[in-house]
A and B are shown apart, each in its own frame.
Chain A
Amino acid sequence: MKALTRPPTSLWVDAWRRLLKNKAAILGLGIIVLVFMVAIFADDSVVAVLAGREPQPLLAPMHFAKQSLENNNAVPSWLTHVFPTLKPVGTEGGYAKINDTYLLGADYNGRDLLSRIIYGTRVSLAVAIVGPLVSLVVGVSVGIAAGYAGGRTDNLIMRFVDIMYGFPDLLFIILLMALFRSTTGAAEAGTLRAVLTGIDNAMGGMFFIFVGIGVTAWMSMSRLTRGQILSLKQKEFIEAARAVGAKDGRIIWRHILPNILGPIVVAQTLNIPQYISTEAFLSFIGLGVQRPTPSWGSMIADGASAIRTYPNQAIFPALALAAIMFAFNFLGDGLRDALDPRLKGTD
């Protein structure tokens, strides 16, 4: 007898199947996995940290800070065919020094662009992980607290979120940076400022980016969570759970969370490009990671000033940034379609 129905599957298996059919999303996922691999294996720090030695470049041809000043702005020969304005030395009006050891060229201090782009993935991906993590932990717990408790508590918490929403995010982050960075020289040992800037220095300047993104990213997540909970709270299966004597914690953990996870994951995936671009923007205006740690934003800023002379210095980091932004956007779109087919095609 032919089965009329396929075996029952869970929501996640269904979603995964739908996702696999979405070519753009799979491409995005592929790029993201690839970039993660590149970031992890840029150098052998995984092994080196265990062995207690300085990491050596692995995927990257050389270390990001390795400079050879005499090779400043060197260009590989293939690039001169792509950019006709990049005329090699020796031709009429030619100025570009040809050196094929640098696959994408070298920057103004003779540092390999490809290596810097590869190491730069670490900054972008760190932001892509920490941003959602903070906003999940803080945003979802605040949202659950407000939505589940309801009444006065809900009102209080959400008004606080409203006030926080009033802050212009970027301005807030810039102020935070300016406050701590501009006073680095004056930080007295033992003060909170000295401790924070110490942490920041140890993280190559990423700490304040994390703080800035964390402080501003959780608000929309808490609103989303609260809305979802308000609508779920009244559903029959929650009533049923309550009727058989389930405690609040169990109801939230076992019944509510699994049901709101879909929209949360989608929202987070779609937010990641925003975190990445925030970091790139901050680095672009000089408030991001500290030099010489490469970030795509600061590489684009450096390259932009040379764009008419050495276009490769701005274009390659910009391409890398564009690729990962697209990848996260495609994946986010695909996830939304997969997790909630009714929303397909909507925004």
Chain B
Amino acid sequence: MSNNLQTFTKGLIKENPILVLLLGCCPTLATTTSAINGMSMGLATTFVLVLSNIFISLLKGFIPDKVRIPCFIVVIASFVTLVQLLMQAYVPDIYETLGLFIPLIVVNCIVLGRAEAFASKNPVFPSMLDGLGMGLGFTLALTLLGCLREFLGSGSIFGLTILPETANILVFILPPGAFICLGFVIAIVNQFKKESH
């Protein structure tokens, strides 16, 4: 059980996909213009990650090694399309802001990375926990970056205005700001990791 717990929690901080493994930087940089966008993207990815990990773990005995990558991609792409259709039909408001980024989940290397590194070698339950942990770690990092960039760039957090418009630093909303923020957050995380060792 403690082993399972570790499988779950390692994605949150110790092996956080963004801040430590540096996987999936494309959606990270693109969607963290505001806290809510970052969080929604994180949650949508978590959903796909958990489902794809479960199914790939179930199918691992059936998929021959040489064609495993195309098989994984088909499974992942199917789930992404599924999420997209369901969101479009039942939560059109969220789809409105996020629609553009949903197809990006297919090429998110965290999803394929976890399928390859974990789900294809482990039983179903730990694979699910791994997907959940990694997904939540991803969500955590995206929300944090989103908050930072929204606060610095638009003076608000989750749409709640804190600073007046004159104090906004526009560059943080733009792509360069994403790189700057990500760099600083990673530096801080590294410092903490060093100290705790």
Q: Do A and B bind each other?
A: no
Using CB atoms and an 8 Å cutoff, list the residues of chain A in contact with chain B: none
B positions within 8 Å CB-CB of A: none
